[in-house]
Structure 1
Amino acid sequence: MTGPNVMRVAPAVLWAQRKDRIFLTINVRECPKNYKLNIESKKIIFSGKNEQSNKEYVLDLELYGEVNSEKYKMKASDANIQLCLTRAEEGHYWPRLIETKTKCHFLKTDFNKWKDEDETDDEDESANWENMMNNMNIGGTELGSEDEIADSDDDDLPDLEDDKDIEKLE
């Protein structure tokens, strides 16, 4: 039951897609584990309450296309809920996540997970999505090994040709 001082807000939602699945991240700070999540073929409904800030998160998304409500993966923390939904029919990318063309301030593209429709992979996509779900990073980004991280300060400076160049610097 919602009290008079409870503020109802839509949580920030990040989304990305592939030809066979939709990725959703519902950002809910310090939302207890007793939230409600209902996944239907064309609808996602979420509600949960943050007791400290007295916020009630409410989300009701009418999806552009259909998803398999029985076949999805979920990873939850106190910061967010990450979903990987299997599309009912594989095919062209959806032009948007929701049915209506209305701009929603809380709905944003997740560029960390986005891949354009015309991009191709050398690796098997079906195995890759399992890997991506298992390695989903909650609350930050992953960096590669130190060998992969380029640092412009590591480059050698060119030698000065002669004393005239030194004078120019002074």
Structure 2
Amino acid sequence: MSPMSNANSMAPTELSPFVYWSQTKGQLLLKVDLKDAQGVVAEFTSTTLSFAANGHGARGRNAYKFQMRFFLPIDDETATFSVTDHKIELHIRKAEPAWWQRLIATPQKPHWLRIDFDRWRTEDDGDLSEGTRDVREDYVEEYNKLQKQEIGYVKEHAKKVYLIIYNLAMFVGYLHILLIMSVLYIRDGSESMKHTYEYVGTSFKFVQLMQYLEVMHPLFGYTKGSPLMPFFQISGRNFVLFLMIEMEPRMHAKPVVFYVFVIWSLVKIVRYPYYVSQLVKRDNGLLTWLRYTIWIPLYPMGLVCEGVILLRSIPYIEETKRFCVDMPNKWNWTFDMVLFLKVYLLLLALPGTFMVMSHMSKLRAKKLGRGRAKPKVN
């Protein structure tokens, strides 16, 4: 027998613990048969679970792990687990209340997955009909391998191709703006700030308007989430860009315009490559960390710069009466833009900042925690 054969025969075998599952209409309960477990890690996405722990199982004290793809989506943000001396229980909420015919996507059940008959509900307790399923979603890896063998590459959905192109185009747009500003600053120093809007204002208006496609993506089912958060974020920045800067030529040469363009661009040149990496399923630890960390200094700085622009615009609006509506008029109503800006500043400084920072803080905790379930507090 060759040395290579000896090495292969001595390679450690991945051990999986026995897992017992049960369900209600809204929740799943998984019981992992490990005693005295330590180092428990349960990493969730909306469709998968990766588990690892050290403990005493069927093969004695060892490192045990398993992975599974769920039959239907789950609420990965609320998943928890609890550890006792004799077992580990994972508490999982289903994304939509329904009775599942099985726990995992594929009909073939691994030998270590079993039914928890003590908690099992019978078919009479709910409709367990499977309905129509796309087998390609159940056998993702096998289907991709088959495509590579047959046609030499993996076909991608038009939606995914569009999203990759869109995010790459937006990355190139903001990088182009940032490079022009950098070259001008290196060449002319602080004097270049006066000409920032002259050189990149048109490009910035274009990419900012293109961002409204991100409001449409969740509406068309291209991305998950609500369209309200991107709508408010994009509209808030476009309000500053188009009404406060574009409409007042005296604002074009202000240094604060340079600063706000740099801050907005830095956020975007990290954000869009991260989205591309997620679409092509090529996770990059540094890129993920930057995506969910760079906002910590940049968002407050951006909000301060936006506030300064609004404050600097108030005297100009008082002078020109731009956007103001006085009586008498055929609509019989008035609108004071100066008062509106003051109220807007209060909303931007207090609830607006809190809402945005809280939203990003939750995303950071989830993503940099790698989707891990939280230990359940008894």
In the alignment, does 2:75 pair up with 1:68? yes
- Superposition pairs of residues 129-140 of structure 1, within 5 angstroms: none
Q: Distance in 2 between matches of 1:61 and 1:42?
A: 9
Q: Percent identity?
A: 25
In the alignment, does 2:36 pair up with 1:37? no
Post-superposition shift, 1:116?
2.5
Distance 1:19 1:70, change over 3 A: same
In the alignment, does 2:122 pair up with 1:116? yes
Post-superposition shift, 1:8?
2.5
Aligned residue for 1:96, secondary structure, equals coil
Counterpart in the other structure of 1:16: 22
TM-score after normalising by structure 1: 0.60
The correspondence for 2:91, drawn from 76, 84, 89, is 84
Unaligned runs of 5+ in 1: 121-132, 136-170
The correspondence for 1:107, drawn from 109, 113, 123, is 113
Q: Distance in 1 between matches of 2:377 and 2:121?
A: 18
User: What amino acid maps onto 1:95 in structure 2?
Assistant: Q
The question of whether the paired residues in 2 share the 8 Å contact of 1:7 and 1:54 is answered with: no
Larger Rg: 2
Unaligned runs of 5+ in 2: 1-9, 127-375
Post-superposition shift, 1:94?
1.3
Post-superposition shift, 1:7?
4.6
The correspondence for 2:54, drawn from 46, 49, 53, is 49
Q: Distance in 1 between matches of 2:33 and 2:11?
A: 22
The question of whether the paired residues in 1 share the 8 Å contact of 2:37 and 2:83 is answered with: no
Post-superposition shift, 1:36?
1.5
Q: Distance in 2 between matches of 1:109 and 1:25?
A: 10
Q: Distance in 2 between matches of 1:84 and 1:117?
A: 22
User: What amino acid maps onto 2:41 in structure 1?
Assistant: K
User: What amino acid maps onto 1:90 in structure 2?
Assistant: P
Post-superposition shift, 1:10?
0.7
Distance 1:75 1:49, change over 3 A: closer
TM-score after normalising by structure 2: 0.28
The question of whether the paired residues in 2 share the 8 Å contact of 1:15 and 1:25 is answered with: yes
Question: 4+ residue runs of structure 1 moved beyond 4 angstroms?
Answer: 4-7
User: What amino acid maps onto 1:100 in structure 2?
Assistant: T
Residues 34-91 of structure 1, C-alpha deviation per residue, up to 9 Å, x if partnerless? 221112211111112248x452201101111111011234221242211221100012
Post-superposition shift, 1:23?
1.1
RMSD: 2.8
**Greater relative contact order (Cα < 8 A, sep 6+):** 1
The question of whether the paired residues in 2 share the 8 Å contact of 1:5 and 1:54 is answered with: no
Post-superposition shift, 1:5?
7.4
The question of whether the paired residues in 1 share the 8 Å contact of 2:37 and 2:53 is answered with: yes
Distance 1:49 1:6, change over 3 A: farther
Q: Distance in 2 between matches of 1:31 and 1:9?
A: 14
1 or 2, which has the higher helix percentage? 2
Aligned length: 118
The question of whether the paired residues in 1 share the 8 Å contact of 2:21 and 2:30 is answered with: yes
Counterpart in the other structure of 1:125: none
Q: Distance in 1 between matches of 2:111 and 2:14?
A: 15
Q: Distance in 1 between matches of 2:125 and 2:91?
A: 20
- Superposition pairs of residues 136-151 of structure 1, within 5 angstroms: none
